[in-house]
Amino acid sequence: MEKIAVLTSGGDSQGMNSAIRAVVRTGLAHGYEMIGIKRGYKGLMENDFITLGSKDVSDILYRGGTFLQSARSEEFKTEAGQNKAINNLKKHGVDYLIVIGGDGSYRGAQSLAKRGIKTYGLPGTIDNDIPLTDYTIGFDTTLNVVQDAISNLRDTMSSHERVSVIEVMGRNCGDIALQGGIASGVDAVLIPEFDYDIKAIANQLSQGFERGKTHSIVMVAEGVATAKEVASFIEEHSNLDTRPTVLGHIQRGGTPSAFDRLFTSRMGHMVIELINDGVTGVALGMEKNEITYHTFDEIFKAQNIVNKKLYKVFQDLI
Ligand code: ADP
Ligand code: F6P
């Protein structure tokens, strides 16, 4: 019986559990033996392997986080670390490895693929920063967390006639800020992909209050500046009372949205079909509502560009 192993790596994201469940259940249905590797590449190097049956993935579809747990490992970036990992895969007779993680985890998967391991990637990160997929696992859930947080901020900001500056995650990618900003109707969005004029923003906010607005929300991507820096700048260049909020790891938690559950179920199913078909060294994603796949090399060659049209949508709606 051929063996498929699955691991989750890097920053966790809502829907990773749902992806593991889909991979395991589909793999079992197609006659594979399924193995889970705990704590990502760390567990792979430390030989932390467990057998997974159908019941082991019960009751996880709706849970955030990852029951296999996740980790980051500097050692895995070295040849010696990867040798340990490959030896463990061979020792357990693993034929295929599925890595659920972000771009760093994909680099690791690509290295293993280059060294002859039949490797597959599923885009597990809230950042939405992986090229050749419209969405990453957890991104949609995170947008929902962001919009709920902004709704809470509006209540108190209106009572006190204040400006709220909210800092969201995303590393060097502005998707959480931009798409969360559109969905929440914020007044300004600062993202790494576009230049901004903070003095002009401070002016625009002041004018809004002069017109009778009772609050304003400014969204800043962590790749641009901190909420504290932006809030201080706005206070210096306007007469507005401003408060910074860092949303932080709250963004990575919570039950996955229906979208993330469906998206991961479809990809988890398809990756097993690709194994059946003999396709290897690829990562899956969604483009125009279809589940698609590309080689790791193609993904690293492509650019992840924030949709310029979406930025225009934002600008025309404020
Ligand atoms: P994410 O996968 O969420 O982007 P990281 O960038 O932290 O998270 O990457 C997760 C792990 O992937 C790292 O801790 C490391 O073990 C592995 N990794 C990252 N970059 C590389 C690389 N260039 N080569 C091999 N492994 C890598
Ligand atoms: O990559 C996911 C992410 O949540 C980023 O948005 C953020 O910059 C980073 O991970 C935070 O990492 P950590 O969980 O190590 O604090």
pLDDT, the chain, mean: 97
Q: What is the mean pLDDT of residues 46-68?
A: 98
229 and 123: one domain? no
**Contact indicator for 174, 192 with CB cutoff of 8 Å:** yes
Ligand 2 center from residue 302 Cα (angstroms): 22
Work out the angle between the directed axes of helices 103-114 and 79-91 (0-180°, nearest 10): 70
**Nearest C-alpha neighbor of 141 from the set 179, 115, 104, 114:** 179
Say if residue 307's pLDDT is above 90: no
Q: Does 127 participate in catalysis according to the annotation?
A: yes
Q: Which one of the listed residues 12, 48, 56, 127 is annotated catalytic?
A: 127
Q: Would you say residue 208 lies in a domain?
A: yes
Q: Quickly state the pLDDT bin for 53 (edges 50, 70, 90).
A: very high
Taking the CA of residue 252 as reference, the ligand 2 atom at the shortest distance is 4
**Ligand 2 centre and the CA of 131: distance in Å?**
18
In terms of Cα–Cα distance, which of 226, 290, 281, 270 is closest to 30? 270
Report the pLDDT averaged over residues 67-87.
98
DSSP string, 72-138: --SGGGSHHHHHHHHHHHHHTT--EEEEEE-HHHHHHHHHHHHTT-EEEEEEB-TT---TT-S--BT
| Residue 183 lies inside a defined structural domain of this protein | yes
Best mutation site among 74, 126, 139, 251 for ligand 2, i.e. most ligand atoms within 8 A of its Cβ? Answer: 126
Average pLDDT over residues 47-69: 98
Task: Confirm or reject: Cβ of 127 under 6 Å from ligand 2.
Answer: yes
8 lines ligand 1 (CB under 6 A): no
Do 66 and 104 share a structural domain?
Answer: yes
Q: Is the CB of 11 under 6 A from ligand 2?
A: yes
**Separation of CA 169 and ligand 2 centre (Å):** 7
Q: Is the CB of 92 under 6 A from ligand 1?
A: no
In ligand 2, the atom with minimum distance to the C-alpha of 12 is 2
Question: CB–CB of 14/138 below 8 Å?
Answer: yes
Q: For residue 102, which ligand has an atom nearest its CA?
A: 1
Is the pLDDT at 175 greater than 90? The verdict is: yes
The residue whose CA has the least distance to atom 5 of ligand 1 is: 104
State the pLDDT at residue 150.
98
CA–CA gap between residue 136 and residue 129 (Å, rounded): 8
Is residue 19 lining ligand 2, measured as CB closer than 6 Å?
A: no
Residue minimizing CA distance to atom 15 of ligand 2: 11
Nearest bound ligand to CA 168?
2
Using CA atoms, how far residue 80 sits from 44, 45, 103, 114, in Å, is 13, 10, 21, 15
User: Are 32 and 179 within one domain?
Assistant: no
Would you say residue 190 lies in a domain? Answer: yes
What is the atom index within ligand 1 of the atom nearest the CA of 41? Answer: 16
Nearest CA to ligand 2 atom 11: 11
Report the CATH number at residue 86.
Answer: 3.40.50.450
Please give the pLDDT value at position 308: 87
Q: 73 C-alpha to center of ligand 1: Å?
A: 7
For residue 159, the domain's CATH number is 3.40.50.460
CA of 313 to the centre of ligand 1 (A): 34
State how many domains the chain has: 2
Give pLDDT tens digits for 82-121: 999 999 999 999 999 999 999 999 999 999 999 999 999 9
Q: Which amino acid is at 171?
A: R
Specify the residue with its C-alpha closest to ligand 1, atom 15.
Answer: 73
**Residue 69: domain span:** 3-138+256-301
Mean pLDDT of 141-150: 98
| Domain co-membership, 208 together with 270 | no
Are 267 and 128 found together in one domain? yes
For residue 312, tell me if it sits in a domain.
no
Residues 230 and 81 reside in one and the same domain: no
pLDDT at 304: 81
The pLDDT assigned to 108 comes to: 98
Distance (angstroms) between ligand 1 centre and the Cα of 179 equals: 25
